[in-house]
Structure 1
Amino acid sequence: MSRHFQTLAGIGLALGGTLVPSVASAQYNRVPDPNAKRVMVAVFRSGDKGLGVQAADAVRSRMTSEFPFKQVYVLPKQDITATLEASGFPVTEALEPHDQKALATLLRADEYVTGTVSKGPDGVKVEANLVLARDNALVQPLGTYDAKSVGEASSLIAKELKEARKQLEFEQKCTNTGRQGQFDAAIAAAKEGITAYPKSTLVRICWANVLISQKAPAAQRLEVAKEIVAVDAKSRPGLAVMAQAYKELGERDSAVVTLTKLLATDPKNPRLQKDVVDELMSANPKVARPVIDQAVEANPGDPDLLRTRWIILLSQGDFKAAFAQGEELVKLDTSFADTTYFIRTARAYTTDSQPKLGAEFASKGLAKFPNQPSLVYEQIMSLKNSGQLQQALESLDKAEGAKVAVDNSAALRVTLLKELGKEVLPAIKAAIAAGDTTQNIRVLALQAGNDAYRKAVTSKNLDDFTAAVDVLKYAESVAPNSLKPQAIFLLGATYVQFGQAKLTAADAAKSCPLTKEAKDLFVEAQIMLPRGGSFAPDQMRTLMGAVMQLDPAADARIKVYCK
């Protein structure tokens, strides 16, 4: 089931009495002890219609008869069914993990039992887990059983559950004392829990969390994490602690393999997806490839594993295989073609030196998800990188007209204008006047000033120098402290070159006004250059040396031209 259980959050009041134990059956006609732990049994996941319900019913019935009523209250099937029906959910299908947690929370369960069941050659194969309702990552495996029937399997599960629950009082004590900073007491409680139930994952997870809070050495955390994963190879907390410890110990390949296994446990988790991909990009994604390939081979057609493989292929830079994998996934599950799929594929085409295809793919995504900001950005960048600058600018204009928040839109506009050979200063001023406080736009203002300076030095045209001074004055006025020295230095350098150009023009025309203007520029240069000298000390001294010669030359010409 892919629907999110969010709709259940609002039906608690509407259900009224359906959230309290039903009295329709004699076995539930007693009020539960207020201290009893409330346990929910969810429909087991199965490829055989009706088998998941049969397994859950068998486990629920076995628990009801074998667990002391005052210690464990097994939530009646009627209550679970009523809650599901009230929200419009089918009652015979297994829920997604986050939906199971939401249902358990709504029914005020402390724990819940979940699992999978399939038909085997001689009966059924059943796998079960105990999950703490406060966090669906807190999982205790209850084993995998080959049995003649779900009834026989439920007996084995209930027996293991009795043993597994022996750790729970110590897990609670470990958690509570750990939160209070009583780390020694928390670890002592965890060790007691392990003694009570040697196969415990829950108290070991608490122990690992305490070590993290203590800032214990990575090797110590790794030891506990390995014990967790030895019991539960799919333990998200265990794999997460293990991966971080490997990373800190410098064992990058082991960290990547562990992260890949971690992503396979929850491949639709966007935050986990990003963390794993970032780590793969910075490490060696080739190490993760055999791990995921093996998992896919063992579970052909599993969309979650194929999604993980797609991410790893992109991280590894095997774009051809990634594109093929993406197309296969979309055929298998059309919901895979979400914004992430279009964004990453478009970006991959650009990275693979196919920006035109990247732009086309982003456009396909926008046809399905109009005005999605990240897709708009990828489309613009792909157009830019393919040399379609005018189209990229038009796409940006269209997005801004539709009030789409494109990342760094002002800086992107300036960059496009610059590459198109158009004036950029008006766009920079407009962005800053509109409230753009980013450093990017201020760096671009300084770059525009530098470009104007270089143009003037090359052309020796007085109008070009005037334009350069105007741009640099504005750039200096908006520059953050980190860029001020550079802006001031460039302005001083411009005054030197501008003054020299005016002095040359004054000589040609025997002009007194031009000579005086050159003199003023040399005075400004002597003020600005020392102020910006920290940016380029050696060049500053060279330019000051030139001014010391040019300034007296201007004075001499004033005496001649200004009689």
Structure 2
Amino acid sequence: MLMKTLAVRLLPSVLPGLLWCAPALAAQEFTQQLMLVVPFRADSGPGLLEDAHRVSDGVRNRLGGLLPERDVDVLSNARLNALLIKSSYRRNSQISDIETRLAASELRADEIVLGRVQREGRTFVVHARLARIRGWNMQQPLPVVRASTADAAAEQVAGEVLRARAQLTGLRRCENALAKGDLAAAARSAEQAIRVYPRAVIARDCLIAALRDGTTGADSLLRVSDDVLALDSTNTFAEVARAQSLEALKRSRDAVAQWNRLYTQHYDSLTLSVTVVEALLRLQQPRTALDDARALEKRFGDKPELRRLRFRAFSQLQQHAQAARLGDSLEVEDATFRADSAYMVRHVDALRQSGDTLAALEMGVRAVRRFPGDARLYLQYLQLMGTEQAVALPRGLARFPDVPELRLLAAREARRTGNRRVAIRETGLAIARDSSLTTQYLALADLYLEDNHADSALLVLRHAPRAGDQVETVRSYVLARGLQLLRAAADTAPARQRLALQLLLLADSVDSREESRATVAAASLQVARSHLVDAFRTNACTDVQQADTMLALSAQVIARGLGSGGNIAEISAAYDAMRKATTEALAVRCQGGGSVRVPS
């Protein structure tokens, strides 16, 4: 039969094309298009299928008379019936989607009108779509038609098809511009098509492709995708674009929900399902990704791409034994796995973490030879070398001088051997090459504090990145180091106390809370007291003035609120006593005569 012959010729799938940034080459402008109006389907009901076919016959006849033949050749009822008879199609049966696509491909049809008819009482309700064989999954839904007769329904559907076709000239120009790489022209043509037909879905799909130019913001792509989905909630191209836009905007929860929705709706597509699972792994959802990958293996069989997804999920879940076993199998059986150094990094780590150090070292040596330019693998190799690191590390630094992890490894080795200056230099070089990792700044600050250079540590910490979870990391570290330095400083060392106070002020500036403000208030009172002690010893007005400055700082912090902790009353009492003593000292030491009594 014709349908079986056509099935051999049909491409395996057009869905992967949805994930490309540009559609296939569009037809040349003004080239005649062939339109196929397929027999409409019918919901259950006696005699409804015959009415559905009467509606589609009427649509076909009307479009054949309304559309200029030089632009569109509408396949007539007679020609369509001849094709269906040749294909052993029975008039009282419904043509499926796959049969529609096969017939359209054989006829080289450009545009296809599909429809479904149902009856509500005495009213015919028609849901129709305008599709194109070039992008089957990007279809134009037409407004729902309601009519009392099949002829009236056919007339309305034909009118909606004519209105929807108004977008096609701009759409073809958009596609041609995409094929030439002119994304700006493509976007202009798509926008023109949307202005001509505001309900345009296919033209908006082309606009989405044009806006993926590397400069358009993800928020703009999200807006267009939402516009498409408001018109057609089943548009796969817009669903994928929406998920990618949410991911780019760091709206992880929304992105995960959108990808999961895609997986549920398109579980029968291996290509799209793999794309979804990869996205879930990027979004740190390894448990869901693993469950989906296992379900896909049950549905599609033991395919290499699905085994690789399971391997990545095991790695993220830190299920090292499972990852190591699967990695050993993929290393032998899967050329794609062997050719990707990222998989090698995960495989070596899984072997090491599962306790098989010898296998990890063997695989690490093999990986370094296979990918001599991959710094990550060389770093793993160094970590596995152990006692041989003294020889291998300088070699790695010479080969990969710009890899911050190697610099940090060199800094740790120098710190272990007591060479603090080299450790400071190497940590600084690591920060110069990658300033985004907070831990590098904290490590450098530690080295400066150990070397009694608190001022340098303070400067480093002021430049430490603070985003997301890094905020709490930086705040807790600086607060702890400030208190540590303050406790170590004696009353006779106000300069070190002031450095400690600056660290505490930095911690409070990162994220001001009641407990950090109370700490700053108490520390400023301690520094003020140290200056008063110096004033008693030196009789210098400048020491009293510095105490007064510290008290002013303490007053500002107290005014911002210290909460209701047990030591708040003590801080307030200490401030009042220190304020009285400092006022007396200002009168005596800065205006002549008298003595200073320092509060205990």
TM-score by length of 1: 0.50
